[in-house]
Amino acid sequence: MTSTAHITWARADARRIHRQHLDEPADAAPAAVAAAMLGVHAQILSAAELSLALRTASATRADVRAALWEERSLVKTHGPRGTVHLLAAEDLPLWTGALSALPAGRGGQPEGVRLSEAQTDEIVAAIGDALTGAELTTDELTEAIVARTGPWAGERVMEAFQDKWPRWRQATMTAAHRGVLCYGANRGRRVTYTNPGVRPLAGPEALAALLDRYLSAYGPATPQHFATWLAAPAGWAKDLFAGAAEAGRIEELVFEDGPAWVVAGDTEFPAEPARGVRLLPYFDSFAVTSQPRARLFPGATSTRALAGGQAGNYPVLLVDGEVAGVWHQRRRGGRVTVTVEPLKPLDPGRLHELERQAARVGEVLESRAELVVGRVEVGPHA
């Protein structure tokens, strides 16, 4: 390792790869890996299981499920950008403190449907009370909220998936970010919610800690990168960085051709670029969060592996720290076919690494894997 004030993409990428456990799988529990990843996108839970387990030396999807539903060392809840994530349970005070302190937007609902601030507070209090010591389905929670607030909260006025949802569901993410709602185990095919019973850290303390975690995992980074990751206003992020720099908590480096920041003193970067072949599933945190995106998805991969400029809609093949293709897995009984489409031919050594990666995917899925190198016919995830 060497220290310098001018960091190239290759060196920043190699450090991120290392800190994401993508160069060497971690001998650690799923929750510890989730903490290092700054959360695991879990809109598709099976993809989250792969993201976590592939970063460990030997975990399977069963180990991730045990951590989530039995040990409760993982929590499924609304994380950055409001999307569903798996977060380390011990980090939940930090996450809820930081996310509940983000600038509040106007909301996307029209006048007459949109909740007022007072109504939101009333619903969140009702949710927290109803879910304490309970796991309720959406319908059961609706009844409990209406009983505590009045019929207005249950009016089906929200347009959603060619249906209408009850008004209170606008406050779901807010309730999660305030620490009174997370997902419980499914009851058959029905989702349940529960109260994790967490006390959020104070906003300024939590935001400072989250910024440090982010820069440790993805630095050097700019305020715009941080704002994009959180879906927060760019001006607010710029002010947060400025305050942290003034306090001496972060320091500026030259990253590529412009200024970017790292945690103060955290200026060591690998001298060599990343090496190796990895398969990353849908919405893997490294593919979604690492910036600048044009460097991670170079050339033809920006067309093939991004959907409308967005990362995560395709599982991706990572070669030497950059996206180099897409892949898909299809399970039948005790077998899984892993089809990989490299955008450039792989030499025999890389093909051997790819075979090992496909085999590891099979281990995680508790199946026997078959690798096929060829065209992926499946389109992006909607």
Q: What is the pLDDT of residue 163?
A: 84
What distance in Å separates the CA atoms of residue 347 and residue 59, rounded to the nearest whole number?
A: 29
For residue 259, give the nearest of 231, 229, 224 by alpha carbon. 224
- CB-based burial of residue 279 (10 Å sphere; 0-12 exposed, 13-18 middle, 19+ buried)? buried
Residue whose pair of structure tokens reads 């903490």 in the numeric block: 35
Q: What is the pLDDT of residue 106?
A: 62
Distances (CA, A) of 105 to 19, 95, 108, 121, 312: 32, 18, 9, 15, 25
Tokens representing residue 138 in the block: 């959406």
- CB-based burial of residue 271 (10 Å sphere; 0-12 exposed, 13-18 middle, 19+ buried)? exposed
What distance in Å separates the CA atoms of residue 185 and residue 182, rounded to the nearest whole number?
A: 10
Cβ–Cβ < 8 Å for 43, 83 = yes
What distance in Å separates the CA atoms of residue 167 and residue 33, rounded to the nearest whole number?
A: 36
Q: What is the pLDDT of residue 199?
A: 95
Domains of the chain: which residue ranges? Answer: 20-194, 204-269, 277-373
Which residue numbers in the chain have pLDDT < 70? 1-4, 106-107, 382
Pairing between strand 335-342 and 368-373? Answer: parallel
Q: What is the pLDDT of residue 104?
A: 81
Pairing between strand 250-255 and 6-7? Answer: parallel
Identify the bridge partners of residue 327 per DSSP, sorted by sequence position.
340
For residue 23, give the nearest of 33, 35, 15 by alpha carbon. 15
Q: What is the pLDDT of residue 107?
A: 66
DSSP string, 302-322: HHHS-BTTBSSSS-EEEETTE
Strands (E), the chain: 2-3, 6-7, 40-41, 74-78, 84-88, 136-137, 156-160, 163-166, 182-187, 190-194, 250-255, 258-263, 268-269, 277-280, 316-319, 322-332, 335-342, 368-373
The architecture in CATH of the region 204-269 reads: Orthogonal Bundle (1.10)
Identify the bridge partners of residue 2 per DSSP, sorted by sequence position.
269
Cβ–Cβ < 8 Å for 34, 87 = yes
Q: What is the pLDDT of residue 240?
A: 98
What distance in Å separates the CA atoms of residue 87 and residue 73, rounded to the nearest whole number?
A: 9
Identify the bridge partners of residue 339 per DSSP, sorted by sequence position.
328, 372
Is 0.85 surpassed by the pTM of this model? Answer: yes
- CB-based burial of residue 174 (10 Å sphere; 0-12 exposed, 13-18 middle, 19+ buried)? buried
Q: What is the pLDDT of residue 1?
A: 40
